[in-house]
Homo-oligomer: A and B are copies of this chain.
Amino acid sequence: MHLFWEHGYEATSLAMLREAMGLTPPQIYNAFTDKETLFRKALTRYHQTEIGFALDALSAPVPTREAIRRLLLGAAEAYSRPGKPGGCLFVSGALATSPQAQAIADELKAYRKASEAAIAGRLAKGKAVGDLPENLSVEGFAKYLAGVMNGMSIQARDGASVEELRVLAQTALAALPAEGQNQVASSKERSHAGSLPRG
């Protein structure tokens, strides 16, 4: 998992996996069928062990803003854990691939889309309970938050520290509209329907 995380699917050779796992080629293929299956198992393991913070944050019984705060700060930590590759496997695993690995790239894209959809779901819930203004675009804001997390993944891979990622997360949080009625009050002076509250 660490090798795929660090080097991506295609750039991780079976020789590297063999040495890291201390297994012979037939043992690997007996246990994991082939390289693609092994990668998919690494994906599910990554999903279970490394990014539980996301589901925790989105399902916690807290106000929407606090949930998003936990999501972004959780990402700051998860993307810069000492002893682990920087960034997110779902981003680094197969961003640009050869045509032969298109299926892998599509699968990772599906993971990213699912994350964005989960965020959108939480935002919709927040909108329903009045945590977010009526005129806010749930899909647009989810795409912003997912984009920020993807960007944090790149920054982490470029060596950003936990503190730097936390500052980034907090800065991103500033784009979140304030709660409830004090937001709807001055809706007339805004021309872009909530996407530029202070334009």
**A interface residues, Cβ below 8 angstroms from B:** 6-8, 10-13, 91-93, 95-99, 101, 109, 112-113, 137, 140-141, 143-144, 146-155, 157-158, 160, 164, 167-168, 170-178, 192, 195-199
Contacts and interface: CB of A to CB of B under 8 A. Distances in A.
A147 B146 contact: no
Contact of A97 (B7, B93, B97, B151): B7
Given A151-B152, A170-B196, 8 more contacts: A6-B96, A7-B99, A8-B96, A137-B167, A140-B167, A170-B192, A171-B175, A174-B175
A10 B153 CA distance: 21
Among A151, A153, A155, residue most surrounded by chain B Cβ atoms (within 10 Å): A151
Contact of A109 (B8, B152, B158, B167): B158
Contact of A158 (B113, B148, B195, B199): B113
A63 to B, nearest CB: 12
A161 B148 CA distance: 17
11 contacts: A6-B96, A7-B98, A8-B97, A137-B167, A140-B168, A143-B160, A147-B154, A170-B192, A174-B174, A174-B196, A174-B198
Contacts of A171: 140-141, 144, 175, 195
